[in-house]
Amino acid sequence: MDAVAAFLKLALRPASISFVIIALAIGVVLSWSRRLWRLAPFYWLLLFVVYAGMATPIVAEWLVEQTSDGFPRLQRAADAQGAHTIVVLGSGARTFRDGPQMIDVATPPTIVRTMEGARLYHLLGTPTVIVSGGVTDRETPDARPESESMRAVMLRLGVPAERIVLESLSTTTKGEADAVRGILGTRRTEPILLVTSPMHMRRSLAVFEAAGLKPLPAAARPWLDRSPSVCRWCPSRSAIDLSDDVVYEQVAYLYYWAHGWFKKEGQEGGGR
């Protein structure tokens, strides 16, 4: 992904500092403009309503339901259609460093996906589990790939180390598809269970199919169990993050479509 795409990947996320600064800057410009100042009150009201809504759990969950295409969780081993490989796509990790001491911590979406991968492992028996994700922490020197933090979660949930394969180079969904194809080799024609969030599933399936693989959707839960005492109408960080993922995935899908990355190899206009 080029520098412009990397910037947009950050700047177009409503929960990011970059997006907030840009949104506030636009409001300031409107407020001080001699020609556009009348629009400023409407802009500020719209900004408040949109952010307040996205930060509300009940609205965030509605957004997820509207954009997830109804991908279900697998509940029975028969639903795997004979797949013996589970591919879990990462969604980021952080490496905390203090001199020689380092700790890798997966982000909440990555943990949720990895937990689903572990559940499917125990459901199916002894499949191979590929945990996919390279270095996503650009702030920490010598940061570790997210696949390593995913492996730690898998081990804690009872998945044997010998059944886990690390894909530690990719940092995009397209890169993950290409890397997994290389890992599978001659087994690329066999069905695989693709584990990711419901919002990310449509784009992931299209990219993996374009890479010549046979993915079956195995959606992770978009959110985990919550205490019944939690207010679903009260703004929360987890809700804005969930809404953020929805917005990002809609933009990312259009970006991939515009680059032709959903077309299978050999089709006219297909890009790699």
pLDDT 10s digits, 207-232:
999 999 999 999 999 888 887 777 88
| C-alpha span between 251 and 207 (Å, rounded) | 15
Rg (CA), the chain: 20
Contact 197, 91 (CB under 8 A): yes
| 142 pLDDT above the threshold of 90 | no
pLDDT 10s digits, 234-248: 999 899 999 999 999
The Cα–Cα gap between 155 and 18 comes to 36
Amino acid at 92: G
Range of the domain at 39: 3-54
- Averaged pLDDT score across all residues of the chain: 89
Min mean pLDDT across 111-125, 230-244, 256-270 is at 256-270
pLDDT per position as a tens digit, 147-157: 999 999 999 99
Secondary structure (3-state) at 89: strand
| Residue with token string 């890009």 | 271
| 164, containing H or E segment | strand 164-167
- Per the structure, how many domains does the chain have? 2
Asked whether residue 35 is domain-assigned, the answer is yes
The answer, yes or no, to whether residue 266 has pLDDT greater than 60, is no
Instruction: Let me know whether 29 and 131 are in one domain.
Output: no
Closest Cα partner for 102 from 155, 143, 154?
Answer: 143
Evaluate whether residue 268 is within a structural domain: no
**Three-state DSSP class for residue 111:** helix
Are 38 and 85 within one domain? no
Tokens of 53: 């809504």
Alpha carbons 61 and 243: distance in angstroms, whole number: 8
Q: What is the pLDDT of residue 200?
A: 95
pTM of the model: 0.88
211 shares its domain with 86: yes
Residue 230 lies in a domain: no
82 lies in the same domain as 179: yes
Say which residue the tokens 């949720």 belong to.
112
Pairing between strand 214-217 and 101-106? Answer: unpaired
- Both structure tokens of 18: 């970059």
| Angle of CA points 245, 246, 248, to nearest 5° | 65
**Could you tell me if residue 64 is inside a domain?**
no
Side by side, the strands of the sheet bearing 164-167 are 164-167, 128-132, 85-89, 191-195, 214-217
Q: Is 249 domain-assigned?
A: no
- Count Cα atoms within 13 angstroms, Cβ side, for 16: 13
Which stretches of the chain are assigned E, i.e. beta strand? 85-89, 93-98, 101-106, 128-132, 164-167, 191-195, 214-217
User: Would you put residue 4 in left (φ > 0), alpha (ψ -120 to 50) or beta?
Assistant: alpha
Section 70-92 average pLDDT: 92
Q: For residues 68 and 271, which has the higher predicted lDDT (pLDDT)?
A: 68
- In eight-state DSSP terms, residue 117 is H
CATH number at residue 206: 3.40.50.620
Question: Is the residue at 144 inside a domain?
Answer: yes
In a domain, 68, yes or no: no
Q: Which residues does residue 106 pair with via DSSP β-bridges, in sequence order?
A: 93
Confidence grade of residue 178 (pLDDT, cut at 50, 70, 90): very high
**Mean pLDDT across 1-10:** 59
